[in-house]
Amino acid sequence: MDIALTLVVNPGCSFSLEKIAKHACALIGHAADIQALSEGRAADLIFKSVAKDATDSATDSAKLASFTRTLSPHLNSISGLDWCLGPEKYRKKRLILADMDSTMITVECIDELADFVGLKDKVAAITEAAMRGELDFEGALTERVALLKGLSRDALERCYSERISLMAGARTLVQTMKKHGAQAVLVSGGFTYFTERVAAAIGFDVHRANVLEFDGDALSGTVQHPICGAQTKLDTLLEFKDKLGLKVHDILAVGDGANDIPMIEAAGLGVAYHAKPKTQAAAAASVRYGDLTSLLYFQGYRDQDFVI
C-alpha cells in the first residue's frame, strides 16, 4: 500500500509548497515521489510501500497511523495549509454524499428564514449549538421550525433568490467527480424547498432533506416525520453503497456539523469542511482554509481534470 499525502496551500500561508513537502519528508524520515496537482498550490507526496506481499498489510496500516501521528501536530499548526493523508489506491471516489448548509452553500437556510420574522439571532444560536453537538438535532430543528410559523411561500422564495449562494468550488467538485463516473447525493438536515434547487444548480443526482409543512400559503411551524438528521445521512450512505455495489473506500462524505459525523465516519474519505471542532475530530481530513476544490486534490485530481 502506497501512502499519499496531499498538501494544499491557500492564500496567507507563510510557507511554500516545496518547503512544506521537504519538512514533511524530514519529519517521517522517508523520501517521496512528489507529483504536482496545481502549480504552486497543491501536490501529492507518494510514499512507496515497503511491503513485499499482502501479508504485510497490517504493517502498512501501522505505518499510515504512525505517519498521521507524526505529521498532524506539525501540519495543523501551519496557517493556510489543508492536507489529507491516506492510501494512494482507490483515491478517486465513486460516490459523494454532501451536506448542504454551510457546506454546499454559504449560509444556514433556517437562520436566513428566521431573519424574515425578526428572529435570526435566536435561531442562529440554536443552530450553532446543534451543529456543535450540544443539542439534540431533532429537538432543535422542531424548536426552530415552530418559530417560523406563518412565514409565507413568497418569503421562502425571496430567501432562496436573495440569500443563497453556492460555496466556492461546489459545482466544480460535483461535476468533475460525475465526469469521472461518480454519483452525487445531497443529504441535508435542512429543507427540500432548498435542496431541490441547490441540487439542480450544482448537479447532484439525488437530494434528501426535511419537508416543511404548510397551512394554506404559510408555514404551519412543523416538518414531516421522520426527521432527516444524522441517522438518515448514514442510512443514505449505506443505501447507495449497496445500490451501486460499492466498497467503503469508494465513498466520500463531507459536512460541517455534528449531524454529519456518522456519514463522515462511515465513508472511505470523510472530510470536515470549515467544520465545528467535534466534526473535525471525527473526520479523516479537514478543509479549514480552502474551497471545495480541495476535495478534488485530496483524490489526486489535477487542475486540468477540473470541470469549471
For residue 179, count other CB atoms closer than 10 A to its CB.
12
Identify the DSSP state of 134.
Answer: S
Give the residue from 295, 298, 237, 288 showing the smallest Cα distance to 267. 237
Q: How confident is the model at residue 50 (pLDDT cuts 50, 70, 90)?
A: low
* Mean per-residue pLDDT of the chain: 95
Length of the chain: 308
Predicted local distance difference test score (pLDDT) of residue 1: 86
Task: Return the pLDDT at 291.
Answer: 98
Indicate if the pLDDT at residue 205 is higher than 90: yes
Looking at the chain, the whole-number percentage of residues with pLDDT higher than 70 is 96
Of the pLDDT bands very low, low, confident and very high (cuts 50, 70, 90), residue 52 is: very low
Given a contact cutoff of 8 angstroms between Cβ atoms, the answer to whether 258 and 140 are in contact is: no
pLDDT (mean) for 144-154: 97
Q: Per-residue pLDDT tens for 91-111? A: 999 999 999 999 999 999 999
pLDDT in tens, 2-12: 999 999 999 99
DSSP string, 161-178: HHH--BPTTHHHHHHHHH
**246: its cell numbers:** 460499492
pLDDT at 64: 82
According to the 3-state scheme, what is the secondary structure of the chain? CCEEEEEEECCCCCCCHHHHHHHHHHHHCCCCEEEEEECCCEEEEEECCCCCCHHHHHHHHHHHHHHHHHHHHHHHCCCCEEEEEEECCCCCCCEEEECCCCCCECCCHHHHHHHCCCCHHHHHHHHHHHHCCCCCHHHHHHHHHHCCCCCEHHHHHHHHHHHCCECCCHHHHHHHHHHCCCEEEEEEEEEHHHHHHHHHHHCCCEEEEECEEEECCEEEEEECCCCCCHHHHHHHHHHHHHHCCCCHHHEEEEECCHHHHHHHHHCCEEEEECCCHHHHHHCCEEECCCCCCHHHHHCCCCHHHCCC
Rounded average pLDDT over 283-294:
97
- For residue 88, the one-letter residue type is E
User: What average pLDDT does the segment 199-221 reach?
Assistant: 98
Q: What is the pLDDT of residue 81?
A: 98
DSSP element (H, E) containing 6: strand 3-9
Looking at residue 140, its pLDDT comes to 96
Q: What's the CA dihedral at 22, 27, 30, 32 to 10 degrees?
A: -30
Catalytic residue among 33, 60, 82, 101: 101
Asked about 99 being catalytic, the answer comes back as yes
**Would the pTM count as exceeding 0.75?**
yes
2 carries an active-site annotation: no
Give residue 243's pLDDT.
Answer: 98
Q: How confident is the model at residue 129 (pLDDT cuts 50, 70, 90)?
A: very high
